[in-house]
C-alpha cells in the first residue's frame, strides 16, 4: 500500500465552491476513486500565515500500478467533468506538468 | 474513529534534526502512540512558496477519549524527553495554548 500527501492552494474566490463540491462529491467520482484503488482519502483545509488557503490531501493507494490507474481515471468522462469544476478552484504551489494541480509532499514519518 | 490533520512549521536550522529524529523515532515513543490509540500516523514535509518548511500530520485516533489519552501521553517521561527534542524544532502557524505546536486543519472531504 502506498500513501500520498499532496498540497495545493485554493483561489480565494473559489474556495467555497471547492468546499461545497467536496461536501457533496458526485457518486460517479467516489465510485471511480474506489475502482482506481484509492481509499481512506481525506482533504484538509488550512489558511496559513501568508493568508493563502491551502488544501492537503492524504490518500492510500492499494493497487499494483498507480500510473495506469490514474490514466484510467483521467480517461473517464465523469472524472473529466468533475475536474472541470474542481481544478479551476485550485492553484499549484510549484511548477507541475500541465493539468496537474497537486504537489507531492515528502513523507518523513510513518507509524502503522 | 477520528482522523486529524495538523500543521506546523520547522525552524530552518532545525529541520534536519526533526527529520532525523523521526527517521529513527524512539521505540518508547512508538509504543506510547499505539498505547494511546493513535494509528496510521504520517508526517509529510513540504517547502511552500513562502520559503517556509511546513510539516503536515495525518493520524487516526481509535480510542474513546482523545483528551484523556493525550493527557496520559503528556504525563509519560519518555514522551516528555522526546518532545524536548522535537518541539524546539517547530514553530506554530497560529496562536495556540502554551506547549502546543500543531494547528488543526479542517477536514473538507473524506472517502473511506
Q: What is the pLDDT of residues B25-84, one digit of tens each?
A: 999 999 999 999 999 999 999 999 999 999 999 999 999 999 999 999 999 999 999 999
Binning pLDDT at 50, 70 and 90, where does residue B93 land? Answer: very high
Query: What pLDDT is stored for residue A44 in this prediction?
Result: 98
Q: What mean pLDDT is predicted for residues A96-100?
A: 92
Specify if B79 maps to a domain. yes
B/e letters for B79-102, b = 16+ CB within 10 Å, e = fewer, are beebbeebeebbeebeeeeeeebb
Bridge partners (DSSP) of residue B104 are B6
ipTM entry: 0.96
Query: What pLDDT is stored for residue B88 in this prediction?
Result: 97
Handedness of CA B74, B76, B82, B85 (dihedral sign): positive
Total structural domains within chain A: 1
**DSSP 8-state class, residue A81:** H
Closest CA–CA distance from residue A15 to any residue of chain B (Å): 11
Specify if A111 maps to a domain. no
CB contact under 8 A, A5 and B54: no
Q: What is the pLDDT of residues A43-97, one digit of tens each?
A: 999 999 999 999 999 999 999 999 999 999 999 999 999 999 999 999 999 999 9
Tell me which chain A residues have a C-beta less than 8 angstroms from the C-beta of B109: 22-23, 25, 41-43
CB contact under 8 A, B58 and A54: no
Query: What pLDDT is stored for residue B78 in this prediction?
Result: 98
CB contact under 8 A, B5 and A42: yes
Would you tell me how many other CB atoms lie within 10 Å of the CB of residue B35? 13
Query: What pLDDT is stored for residue A67 in this prediction?
Result: 96
Specify if A39 maps to a domain. yes
Query: What pLDDT is stored for residue B47 in this prediction?
Result: 97
Q: Is A75 on the interface with B (CB under 8 A)?
A: no
Mean residue pLDDT across chain A: 97
- Phi and psi at residue A79, to the nearest 5°: -65, -40
Tell me which chain A residues have a C-beta less than 8 angstroms from the C-beta of B44: 5, 56, 105-108
Domain that holds residue B87: 2-104
Q: Is B7 on the interface with A (CB under 8 A)?
A: yes
Specify if B24 maps to a domain. yes
CATH of the domain at A67: 3.30.70.1090
Specify if A90 maps to a domain. yes
Q: What is the CA radius of gyration of chain A?
A: 14
User: Would the pTM of this model clear 0.90, i.e. be above it?
Assistant: yes
Specify if A109 maps to a domain. no
Specify if B112 maps to a domain. no
User: What is the per-residue DSSP string for B8-22?
Assistant: EEE-GGGHHHHHHHH
Amino acid at each position: 500500500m502506498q500513501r500520498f500527501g499532496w498540497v495545493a492552494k485554493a483561489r480565494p474566490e473559489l474556495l467555497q465552491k471547492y468546499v461545497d463540491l467536496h461536501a457533496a462529491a458526485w457518486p460517479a467520482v467516489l465510485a471511480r476513486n474506489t475502482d482506481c484503488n484509492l481509499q481512506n482519502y481525506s482533504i484538509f483545509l488550512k489558511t496559513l500565515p501568508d493568508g493563502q488557503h491551502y488544501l492537503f490531501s492524504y490518500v492510500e493507494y492499494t493497487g499494483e500500478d498507480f500510473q495506469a490507474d490514474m490514466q484510467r481515471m483521467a480517461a473517464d468522462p465523469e472524472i473529466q467533468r468533475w475536474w472541470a469544476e474542481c481544478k479551476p478552484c485550485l492553484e499549484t504551489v510549484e511548477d507541475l506538468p500541465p493539468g496537474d494541480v497537486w504537489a507531492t509532499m515528502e513523507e518523513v514519518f510513518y507509524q502503522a
